[in-house]
Amino acid sequence: MTDGKLWITYAWDNNKDGDFDYLAQELEDSGVATSYDKIALIPGRRLWDQIADNINSPHIKAWAYLITAESLASGPCREELAYAIDRTLKEKSEEFPLIGILHGVSFNEIPPALRVRLCVSLDSPDWREEIRSGVIGSPTGRTKKEVSRYIWKIHPSKDQTSGTFEIRPRFGSVSPWLIAIPKNGPQPSHWGVGPADSQHISTVQYGVKAGELSVEGEAYNYYSTENAITSSSSAYLVFSERPPSSILIGSLIPNSGFKFDFKVDITTP
């Protein structure tokens, strides 16, 4: 559990169905001690005096604002935000953590005072750890997710019986590119390079090749052109039936054969 507590400002409308209670529960279970009006304020006493006493308490080590459509429309939430920015930073220093927690709003809707601070989206699978890291002031120890060099997609026909396969690198270029398909599977009727996301193969194609090769003892048919694929130009393979379940992508290497660096596993409806 964190040494100090995280004070959270929220709109009461965000707890009609227990959403805020769930947020606080998940943070507590992740090791973040929380405090907020429902458990820290005493009914019948002056609201802002109590908020001041709580936020400025030495036990409060960070402050968070649950940014939703409801809190942005809430006068009390905006007043509490203004108080935290003005009074708290003066009394606790500029290093005091202010955290925006986004739920159902875009970055453009974040109050200007929070845009230069840490903002965490509840759509992130790592939001608990991101908030905890903000409270304790350490980098997020998130698990690295491997992202492939290529972006690919299937453009299915309306009746789902055929489709076009598209692939391109995120950065850089590949030329001559090479795509291989298991010989016993569906084969493209035509192929080539065209603008990304257009499903259009340009009229002029250079060095068009097709043939057979073996990969780890398995027979494949390959398709290639010398037109480079880039972040804005994709390779397209057009199928008159459903595309195959797996496709290899790589490049032809002059005088030494070929090299594959990515395998696409396709699931079609």
Query: Domain containing 72 — which CATH number?
Result: 3.40.50.10140
The answer on 117 and 202 residing in a single domain is no
The answer on 122 and 13 residing in a single domain is yes
The answer on 96 and 48 residing in a single domain is yes
Instruction: Decide if 6 contacts 32 (C-beta within 8 A).
Output: yes
pTM: 0.52
Residue range of the domain that includes 86: 5-136
Distance spanning both ends of the chain, measured CA to CA: 46
- Domain boundary residue, one of 101, 136, 171: 136
Neighbouring C-beta atoms of residue 164, cutoff 10 Å: 20
Residue closest to 57 by CA, chosen among 95, 17, 6, 102? 6
The answer on 36 and 123 residing in a single domain is yes
The answer on 117 and 168 residing in a single domain is no
Residue closest to 77 by CA, chosen among 25, 5, 13? 13
36-42 LR contacts (CB < 8 Å, sep 24+)? 36/7, 36/8, 36/9, 36/10, 40/7
Asked if residue 142 belongs to a domain, the reply is no
The answer on 131 and 16 residing in a single domain is yes
Residue closest to 102 by CA, chosen among 67, 129, 57, 147? 67
Q: If you search the block for the tokens 């057979």, which residue do you land on?
A: 212
- Domain boundary residue, one of 136, 168, 184: 136
CA torsion through residues 83, 86, 92, 97, sign: positive
Instruction: Decide if 193 contacts 235 (C-beta within 8 A).
Output: yes
The answer, yes or no, to whether the previous bond of 176 is cis (omega within 30 of 0) is yes
Q: What is the pLDDT along the chain (269 residues), one digit of tens a residue?
A: 666 788 888 887 888 878 888 888 999 998 999 887 754 343 444 455 566 666 777 788 888 888 888 888 888 777 767 766 776 667 777 778 888 899 888 878 887 777 657 789 888 888 999 999 888 887 665 555 677 889 999 999 888 889 999 999 998 899 999 999 999 999 999 999 999 999 999 999 999 999 999 999 999 999 999 999 999 999 999 999 989 989 999 998 877 788 998 999 876 44
